[in-house]
């Protein structure tokens, strides 16, 4: 479960992590996410490691979350705050 949590955290904050990190930490991040990186001229070709590849595949799948949220409240319903 800890691995899934780590993967989701990395995936959701990758851009900000990349900007804020040193070259060493960026390299470490790439080693975590990428498999078989190859420099082809000016292009880097790579495969994503399995948990990241699965997330990318889910991101492009329109049917993955096709149903509306099952926890929607009635129309016009506004959340209320608890008071003493």
| pLDDT, one tens digit for every residue, the chain (84 residues) | 567 777 777 777 878 878 888 999 888 888 888 888 899 999 989 888 887 777 777 766 555 555 555 666 555 555 555 555
Give the length of the chain: 84
> By the 8 A CB rule, do 58 and 64 touch?
yes
According to the model, what pLDDT value does residue 71 have? 60
36: region left, alpha or beta (phi > 0 left; psi from -120 to 50 alpha): left
Distance CA(41)–CA(60), nearest Å, equals 28
């Amino acid at each position: 479960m800890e691995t899934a949590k780590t993967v989701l955290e990395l995936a959701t904050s990758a851009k900000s992590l990349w900007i804020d990190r040193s070259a060493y930490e960026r390299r470490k991040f790439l080693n975590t996410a990428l498999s078989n990186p190859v420099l082809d001229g000016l292009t880097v070709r790579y495969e994503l490691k399995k948990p990241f590849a699965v997330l990318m595949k889910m991101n492009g799948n329109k049917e993955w979350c096709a149903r509306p949220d099952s926890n929607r409240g009635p129309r016009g319903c506004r959340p209320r705050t608890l008071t003493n």
